[in-house]
Amino acid sequence: MHIEVIGSGAPLVLIHGWALHGGVFAPLVQRLADRHQLHLVDLPGHGHSRDSATPLHLQAVAAEVLARTPPALWLGWSLGGLFALHAAANSAQVRGLAMVAATPRFVRGEAWPHAVEPAVFAQFGGELGRDYAGTLDRFLALDTIGSEHARSELRTLKDTLYARGEPAPQALQAGLALLEQSDLRAAAASLSQPSLWISGRRDRLVPAAGMRQAAALSPLAREVEIAGGGHAPFLGHADQVAAEIAGFTESLPLQPLGAT
């Protein structure tokens, strides 16, 4: 699995969303590399990890990233949030957790109304085989719809999408299955680390109300809503998101919880 290391300072692991790669975090890299050692993960089947033998499973990915990175704050965006949350719930090496437009459960269910219909991800999976490029374009549009900077964010995502080659179709299907089937609410409730939940008020994929509900599950959580943000608030509102991350880092304990 490809993990790019940039900058110096407090370690920060960043895990991207569906179909993209670590390069999508360029706006945060520009703003945080002078104070963070950034570990930018390309998930298996994505970017420079397109041919990785690691399966796109929560446990397998989390275990490999934990083995290859120091104790750190972990940030997960969208699909990446599932991997970050799983790691945080199972390892004191995760000093803190930042969830950006990511919740423990992405589909609606019992006592979980602020999410998408279960059929959404199944529909994207069915369309991938018939229209690979068109399906990816439609998903990127869903990432940006509603944001006050939707046009520029969509252009950035389209420019980023194939910058490291095409994502592997089987990895895309596996990612959609994770989005459709994962329910990590118990993991969120079990967190012993501080957590930061950053939502976009205009997000049509992960509603801000769902982020508030998710943050309420975690004992040491703080929730921040980006007023004009959509599903990728670190693109159109990079200064605000970077400032929230920097402030959160400063509030973390000097050692991982449980360390001596």
- pLDDT tens sequence for the chain (260 residues): 999 999 999 999 999 999 999 999 999 999 999 999 999 999 999 999 999 999 999 999 999 999 999 999 999 999 999 999 999 999 999 999 999 999 999 999 999 999 999 889 989 999 998 999 999 999 999 999 999 999 999 999 999 999 999 999 999 999 999 999 999 999 999 999 999 999 999 999 999 999 999 999 999 999 999 999 999 999 999 999 999 999 999 999 765 444 43
70 lies in a domain?
A: yes
The CATH number given to whatever domain includes residue 242 is 3.40.50.1820
The model's pTM is: 0.96
100 lies in a domain?
A: yes
Burial of residue 140 (CB within 10 Å: 0-12, 13-18, 19+) is: buried
Q: Give me the domain span that covers residue 218.
A: 3-251
Q: Of these residues, 49, 52, 78, 182, which one is catalytic?
A: 78
Q: Of these residues, 147, 203, 218, 237, which one is catalytic?
A: 203
| 42 classed as catalytic | no
**Number of domains into which the chain is organized:** 1
260 lies in a domain?
A: no
- Please give the radius of gyration of the chain, using alpha carbons only, rounded to the nearest integer: 17
| 78 classed as catalytic | yes
235 lies in a domain?
A: yes
